Amino acid sequence: MLDKIELFGKEIKLRTHSCHLFDEPAQEVEEPFINLYVRTKFCNAKCEFCTYAEDASKYSETRYREVLEEISSKIKIRKIAVSGGEPTLYWDNFKSITNLSKEYAPDAELSMNTDGLRWLQLFNDPIHKEYDYIQLSRHHYDDTINDEIFKCKTPTIDDIKAVIDLQTHPHQIQFRCNLIKGYVDSKEEVFKFLDWTNEIGVNDVGLVSLMPVNEYSKEKYIYFHIKELIGDNFILSKEWKRYGGACECFNYVYLPEENFRQPMRVYHKNTFKPSDITETLVFDGQNLRIGFDGEIIY
């Protein structure tokens, strides 16, 4: 199986295997692929665990088009994830990224992560329908405490409820909750967050351990094993570790109490060696690099 290609004169590894189901060998994929992350950088928020705060106005539509042309002409792009910083901060740039992604990789899964800066505007624009998944960073169930973490105003509970019925499918809106010491950091707090999410009508939650990228992240890092939550209403469905190491994921089904809405998908991800994830390419608005902090190749 093809396991590497040349992009911009540089040899690039491909994803040739799925992640391991724990205690089982990794399986070869039917067709090798690569994932692409678009990090717009700069942000309205000032989260202490984040290091992406450079000027997003440096985004070059021409450079992004050239990157997509080169990659899509040689290999399948399975996933494009648009993130930041805050990707909607510069709205015209966000629309350009979205439209070019759909033009050059129409079959790729397209997702975005946002702090909700333009939450209502996003769902009042047809562009939200281009995304398979819209992941709202939401690190606490209380609006005021969530604003404290982000150090800015974030979507309220009412704002989130206002767009639930505008989803293209029941799992389009997802929450991504960072596990942070002093906030959502225990079994009790996790269940409070999940029940709050279920009452709102969101059916997909990611519980994410902080990546060790700065001193705050290391100090506030939480890794009580999420498998501790397993019980009659919290069922483990899959447990993965990355082929080659560096991260692990656990997938669950949560069955809330009868007074809540419906079952939920939940996962926990721990990326303990982000620099080792090299089968992903990252475009930062100007440059294409291997992995999140690796070598620039274009």
Q: Residue 240 — very low, low, confident or very high, per pLDDT cuts 50/70/90?
A: confident
Query: Does 2 reside within a domain?
Result: no
- In whole angstroms, give the CA distance from residue 80 to residue 213: 23
Residue 22 predicted with pLDDT over 80: no
Q: Residue 273 falls within a domain, yes or no?
A: yes
Q: What is the mean pLDDT of the chain?
A: 89
- pLDDT on residue 259: 64
The neighbour count for residue 135, using CB atoms within 10 Å, is: 20
Confidence of residue 275 (pLDDT cuts 50, 70, 90): low
pLDDT at 239: 78
Which of 132-141, 143-152, 278-287 has the weakest average pLDDT? 278-287
Segment 10-25 shows an average pLDDT of: 74
pLDDT one-digit tens code per residue, 130-140: 999 999 999 99
In a domain, 8, yes or no: no
Cis omega (within 30 of 0) on the bond before 85? Answer: yes
Q: How many CB atoms lie within 10 A of CB 15?
A: 21
- pTM across the whole model: 0.92
Average pLDDT (206-220) is 90
> Is 157 inside a domain boundary?
yes
pLDDT tier for residue 52 given thresholds of 50, 70 and 90: confident
Number of domains the chain is built from: 1
Predicted local distance difference test score (pLDDT) of residue 245: 62
The burial of 237, by beta-carbon neighbours within 10 Å (0-12 exposed, 13-18 middle, 19 or more buried), is given as: exposed
Q: Is residue 117 part of a domain?
A: yes
Instruction: State residue 238 phi and psi, 5-degree precision.
Output: -150, 150
Q: Which domain, by its residues, includes 265?
A: 33-290
Q: How confident is the model at residue 1 (pLDDT cuts 50, 70, 90)?
A: low
The pLDDT > 70 percentage for the chain reads 90
258 in any annotated domain: yes
pLDDT tens digit sequence for 63-105: 999 999 999 999 889 999 999 889 999 999 999 999 999 999 9
The CATH number of whichever domain residue 57 belongs to comes to: 3.20.20.70
Q: Does a structural domain hold residue 297? A: no
Tens digit of pLDDT for each residue in 163-174?
A: 999 999 999 999
